[in-house]
Structure 1
Amino acid sequence: MSRTPPPQEAGHDARRSRQWLAGEAHGAGVDRDGLLELGAAMAALTAAAAEREPVAVAAAPVGVDPGTPIRKPLRPDLLRPLDTNAEMRWTALAGQGYVVPNDRFFVRNHTVTPRLDPDAWRLRLFGTGLRGAPARDTPVEFGLDDLRRLPAEESTALLECAGNGRRFYTDQQDEPAPGVAWDLGGVGVARWRGVRLGTVLRLAGLTGDAVDVMPEGLDPDYVTGGRNLGRVRRPLPIAKALDDVLLAYEMNGEPLPADHGFPVRVVVPGWIGISSIKWVGPMEVSATPLFSPWNTQFYRMFGPGQPAGGGTLAVQSIKSAFELAWDARVTVGEEVLLRGRSWSGAGPIDRVEVDTGDGWRPADLVAADRGGPWQRWTVRWRPPAPGRWVLRARATDVTGAVQPDRAAPNDLGYLFDGVVRHPVTAG
Structure 2
Amino acid sequence: MSTATTPGPDRSRLGQVGRRDVLKLLAAGPAAAQWAAAGPAAAAVSPGGVPGIVKPLPPELFTIRGTNAETNVSAFAGTGRLTPADRFFVRNHTSTPRLGESDWKLTVWGSGLGGGRRADFTYGQLRSLPPVTRTAFLECAGNGRNYFDTQQGQPVIGTPWTLGAIGVARWRGVRLADVLRLAGITDRAVDVMPRGLDDDFVAGGVNLGRPRKPLPVAKAMNDVILAYEMNGEPLPYDHGFPVRVVAPSWVGIASVKWLADIEVSDTPLSSPWTTQFYRLFGEAYPPEGSVPLTRQTIKSTFELAEGAVFEAGRIHHLTGRSWSAAGAVRRVEVSTDGGAHWRPAKLRDTPHRDSWVRWSADWRPRHAGPAELLARATDTAGNTQPPTSVHNTQGYLFDAVVRHRVTVR
TM class by shorter chain equals 0.7 to 0.9
* Letter of the 1:385 counterpart: H
Which of 314, 331, 335 is residue 351 of structure 1 equivalent to?
331
Q: Give the CA deviation at 1:79.
A: 1.1
Counterpart CA distance in 2 for 1:236 and 1:367 is: 31
Which of 316, 319, 329 is residue 339 of structure 1 equivalent to?
319
1:234-273, Cα deviation, whole Å (9 max, x unpaired): 0000000000001000001110000000000000000000
Please name the residue that 2:34 is paired with: none
> Any unmatched runs of 5+ in structure 1?
1-65
Q: Give the CA deviation at 1:110.
A: 0.2
> Any unmatched runs of 5+ in structure 2?
1-48
Which of 133, 138, 163 is residue 159 of structure 1 equivalent to?
138
Q: Is the contact made by 2:328 and 2:351 (CA closer than 8 Å) also made in structure 1? A: no
1:390 pairs with 2:372: yes
Please name the residue that 1:381 is paired with: 363
Q: Is the contact made by 1:393 and 1:420 (CA closer than 8 Å) also made in structure 2? A: yes
Please name the residue that 2:253 is paired with: 274
1:314 pairs with 2:297: no
1:125 pairs with 2:105: no
Counterpart CA distance in 2 for 1:244 and 1:88 is: 26
Q: Is the contact made by 1:88 and 1:185 (CA closer than 8 Å) also made in structure 2? A: yes
Q: Is the contact made by 1:157 and 1:191 (CA closer than 8 Å) also made in structure 2? A: yes
1:168 pairs with 2:147: yes
Q: CA RMSD in A?
A: 1.1
Q: Is the contact made by 1:301 and 1:310 (CA closer than 8 Å) also made in structure 2? A: yes
DSSP-derived class of the 2:115 partner:
coil
Q: Give the CA deviation at 1:91.
A: 1.3
Which of 322, 325, 350 is residue 368 of structure 1 equivalent to?
350
Please name the residue that 1:7 is paired with: none
* Letter of the 1:157 counterpart: A
Which of 227, 249, 258 is residue 228 of structure 2 equivalent to?
249
State the identity as a percent: 56
* Letter of the 2:260 counterpart: G
1:164-186, Cα deviation, whole Å (9 max, x unpaired): 01111110111111110001000
Counterpart CA distance in 1 for 2:73 and 2:393 is: 27
Q: Is the contact made by 1:156 and 1:190 (CA closer than 8 Å) also made in structure 2? A: yes
DSSP-derived class of the 1:71 partner:
coil
Q: Give the CA deviation at 1:346.
A: 0.9
TM-score (norm 2): 0.86
1:194-233, Cα deviation, whole Å (9 max, x unpaired): 0000000000001010010000000000001010000000
Q: Is the contact made by 1:173 and 1:406 (CA closer than 8 Å) also made in structure 2? A: yes
The total of aligned residue pairs comes to 358
* Letter of the 1:387 counterpart: G
Please name the residue that 1:101 is paired with: 84
Matches within 5 A, 1:47-62: none
TM-score (norm 1): 0.82
1:401 pairs with 2:383: yes
Counterpart CA distance in 2 for 1:324 and 1:368 is: 23
Please name the residue that 2:267 is paired with: 288
